[in-house]
Amino acid sequence: MPQQVVPIRMGITSRIFRFTVRPKRRGGPQAFSRAEDARALGLMKVRAVQRADLYFVRGSIAPKELDLLGRFLFCDPVVETFEWEDCGDAGHEGSAALGDGNRIEVALRPGVTDSVAEEIMRAAVEIGVKGIEAVSTGEIFEVEGEGLERRDLELLADRLLANPVIQRYAIGRIEPSFPFLAAGSGEMERLPVSTMSDAELEALSAGRRAALDLREMTSVRDYFRMEGRDCTDVEFETIAQTWSEHCVHKTFKALIDVDVPEGSLNPYPPRVDNILKTYIKKATDEIAAPWVLSAFVDNAGILEFDDEYEMSFKVETHNHPSAVEPFGGANTGVGGVIRDVMGVSARPIAATDVLCFGPLDVAPEDLPAGVLHPRVVFSGVVAGVQDYGNKMGIPTVNGGIHFDPGYTANPLVFCGCAGLAPRGKHRRQARAGDRVVVIGGKTGRDGIRGATFSSMVMDSTTGEVAGASVQIGAPIVEKKAAEVIVEARDRGLYTAITDCGAGGLSSAVGEMASELGCDVDIARAPLKYPGLAPWEIWLSEAQERMVLAVPPENMEAFARICELNDVGVTDLGLFTGTGRLVVRYDGVVAVDLDCRFLHDGIPQRRLVASPPQATLAPTPLPAPAPAPAPDAARALLGLLAHPAIASKETVVRLYDHEVQGATVVRPFTGILHDGPSDASVLKPRETGGSRGLVLSNGFNPKYGMADAYRMAVSAVDEAVRNAVSAGADPERIAVLDNFCWGDPKRPETMWTLLEAARGCHDAALAHRTPFVSGKDSFNNEYRARDGRRVSIPPSLLISAIGIVPDVDASPGTDLKEAGNHLYLAGDFRPVFGGSVYAELYGLPGGAPAGAPDEVPDAAAGAHAVYLAIHRAILAGWIASCHDLSEGGLAVAVAEMCLGGRLGARLRIEGDRARTSTLLFGETNGCLVLEVKSGRDADFLKAMEGLPLRLIGGTADSGRLELSSGDAAASVPVEDIVAAFRGASAGAAQ
């Protein structure tokens, strides 16, 4: 391998060395995929974009040790080559841009955490390389194409290859930047809040991006007038984070005046006090499931798994950060929700993700100013999810990918994590005298004001001013912290624990000390870079940190566990019992707040809910009119290739769903493992017997644009029926809600929120499935430079976790054997409103069928069907089972054929004028079941009195035969496979 060998005398000169690592084989899918993305930006001359890794190492290092770095740390010699060169002494860091052909080099901006570089420093010590002072990393992109100009390369770098929030680039060579030894500045500012006018209060909130309204700012002013003093900047920022929408959920807890014109349909009282208590928690309280061990009080919901173990589940959103920095936003979204599970003393065992993007083929000139292209967001988010879960060794087992123009400026990134722990081991109550201990990564400038940033509407300047709000992840650090927590839990070394997420130490320590109070000194916190002011240290959301309450007598043992696992540990102070939050910087008081004011002093928000004009009357049922569509065969193949249905394999295969060895039902099923599963089933390795857990979700924002109430009912039903299809017991399923909405100050937005919350309540009662946790994300809007505001569609994700009594009985969605009968179970009422068929063929939108007062009864009827199906699955009568969702009945059966590579005959009787509706309309509460030969009589008896119809059977013909009314079609299974798999997640979607 070519390299430059230079004589170095150790200890004399510190020099900078540049390593370039290239794949041995040029080209490949990624190089041409990048070129495809470039052409989508209008750069039609780009033929391929080759990528190489770039590393800079500063220090006094011998040539043989440089070779060690190259061979053992920087490259895989089987598929890669490396070369290094001497760039000079440390006083001349690299070369200026040389214009090396069509080369773009990208590196992190100074001050941005380089987690790869940190791991290189650690690993170099392990392989015996000495003299390294600092490391930084980057990327090289070599652009192939004729006639490319510098402006083409700059456009490519600006819009595709570099994110200006955290990265810089050069055409040619880039100069490295290295971190410096870090110490805080200690500078604090005093704000005369107590004497400010209303206008000055509003200006202060806006200037510091506090996202506090005038009533909230007035409460702050009143408090400091009572205290008789000014407010420090650290105190003000603490209040802003603690009172943020992200942390305190003030919209869900608001007092809402319902304004509905007289004579209009109105299911609400004149005033609704606290949506969370009135609808979501109320459903959980009314169901009162004894197997719910903790709901809405911990970092994650906790449920009984069996007599020995408990399982936990949490789903978070990381939307605003992912819009600004897609990789870092999604990466730390995954890391944050994993920490939520660690925060209930559990071992993380599985991750889920549901991702929403704008259309990937949108023209660059149609994007609002300051908005990243959906292709850039898509690739960055997918890579971020892949990076964190894979590196931590947590399988990503379930999720979805959705596309809508409403997500162009506001992508949604839902990240979930499930955990397992011995029952009764989680400790929740700190005691006076316990030490306030933080473990994990160092504190940096990344993630500052993240909680308030996520509580604001984005605009064209967001990426410029909120870059520091995006955290940078280090999954290996979190992996080691997780090992510390499990061992410390089992040895009983701590009395309380929480993750250091939104708001950083201000929220983590503040919440743990909300009753006791504490006294901490943040000058002790280890820093990543110099010059951080006390408020920055206190608010930083730098990742991979957990806060624990450790009794003094356990500190030595706890610190020893951290040392053995190479995890940083810092004693910040103690819980005092005074009820005051006291924060010092090197002994100087920076915060001295009454905990009751901090956590209970926020005034209740007052909002108005009023229906849009279009929803003042009940939504009429869709008319049973013939659909202007092609023949059934072409319609089926068109639906299978649609981004909402087509295989997501090109994305899912990037995620490890096998690690830990617990995954029983994987994202794909069937004889070639390419058919879509309805849910994931896991059998944790610690547990005995055949019991497992299921993870599933329900999501259809297109319903939300027409009827938010029925969208919520539909999402709950879909999550539950997906779980039942995989073998879950319908009486042991819990759900989580994630509301992503626009600006709640808009009355019409609040109306849809009320409707969705009411739908959650009604559906939960109908299915007897309690809510155990949730999260909301508001202000998912974008304000363009012309003042126009664009909101996402009302988007409700329902995630389900439940018990599978026998994982071996889980039937899967793939057809098993020719000659079996196919049945359709459930109240089959397909419509085109909100369906993929309607989108594909330009039909009017709408919502699932049924008048509003019929919806809860329909859900209750579906629950009875699910109970009977579950008994049939446990009895061993069901060979395969698949729910009806996007694409309707024909698509569901086609996917079953695909998984089993078997043919089938499908005949559905009904009104001939509604043939397309029967085949491709969508409905709730329905599943297709393949019943094993000879078990039909048993199955029919078990389903007696419930909606059920025989719709056909399996065949070894290699074709799906469709017939309904006078329409008939015959589609080869190989064509079904080609349509489903031919549209890649990155291209067709």
DSSP string, 551-613: -GGGHHHHHHHHHHTT--EEEEEEE-SSSEEEEEETTEEEEEEEHHHHHH-SPPPEEEE---G
Kindly tell me the number of DSSP H helices and DSSP E strands found in the chain.
31, 42
DSSP 3-state of 380: helix
- In angstroms, the CA 643 to CA 984 distance is 8
Lowest pLDDT segment from 171-185, 198-212, 543-557, 578-592: 171-185
How does residue 731 score in pLDDT terms, banded at 50, 70 and 90? very high
d(CA 237, CA 502) in angstroms, rounded, equals 13
Question: Of 560-569, 675-684, 780-789, 980-989, which gets the smallest average pLDDT?
Answer: 980-989
Least confident range from 211-225, 351-365, 701-715, 776-790: namely 776-790
Measured distance CA(827)–CA(811) in Å, rounded:
22
In tens, the pLDDT along 811-823 reads 999 999 999 999 9
Q: Are the C-beta atoms of 437 and 549 separated by less than 8 Å? A: yes
The fraction of the chain above a pLDDT of 90, given in percent, is: 65
Q: In what order do the strands lie in the sheet with 435-440?
A: 496-499, 545-550, 435-440, 569-575, 518-521, 580-585, 588-594
Query: Cβ of 53: how many Cβ atoms within 10 Å?
Result: 18
Question: If you average pLDDT over residues 489-510, what whole number do you get?
Answer: 93
| CA nearest to 799, candidates 711, 855, 723 | 723
Residue 800 pLDDT > 90: yes
Q: Mean of the pLDDT values across residues 555-570? A: 96
- Reference 237, options 472, 669, 33, 534; nearest CA is 534
Proportion of the chain above pLDDT 70, given as a percent: 89
DSSP state of 810: -
Q: Which of 33-42, 167-176, 312-321, 387-396 has the lowest mean pLDDT?
A: 33-42
Whether the pLDDT of residue 607 is over 90: the answer is yes
Task: Report the pLDDT averaged over residues 311-336.
Answer: 90
Give the pLDDT of residue 673: 95
User: If you average pLDDT over every residue of the chain, what do you get?
Assistant: 88
Tens of pLDDT along 850-860?
444 556 677 77
Measure the CA–CA gap between 246 and 771, rounded to whole angstroms. 19
Active site residues: 246, 318
Q: What integer is the mean pLDDT of 162-172?
A: 84
Cα torsion through 636, 641, 645, 647, rounded to 10: 130
| pLDDT higher than threshold 70 for residue 964 | yes
Query: Which tokens go with 469?
Result: 């709000």
Q: How far apart are CA 464 and CA 122, in angstroms?
A: 33
Condensed to tens digits (0 to 9), the pLDDT of residues 436-464 reads 999 998 887 766 654 444 444 444 333 33
Q: What is the pTM of this model?
A: 0.88
Question: What angle, rounded to 10 degrees, do the helices at 475-490 and 555-564 form?
Answer: 140
**Of the listed ranges 80-84, 552-556, 781-785, the one predicted with least confidence:** 781-785
In which element (H, E) is residue 435 found? Answer: strand 435-440
In terms of C-beta density within 10 A (0-12 exposed, 13-18 middle, 19 or more buried), how is residue 133 classed?
middle
Mean pLDDT of 381-388: 93
Decide if 777 contacts 319 (C-beta within 8 A): yes
Q: Specify the pLDDT at position 399.
A: 94
pLDDT for the residue 470:
58
User: Cα 518–312–356 angle (5° rounding)?
Assistant: 100
Look at residue 256 and tell me whether its pLDDT is greater than 90.
Answer: yes
| pLDDT for 623 | 40
What's the rounded mean pLDDT across residues 937-954?
A: 97
pLDDT for res 834: 85
Tell me what pLDDT residue 692 has: 98
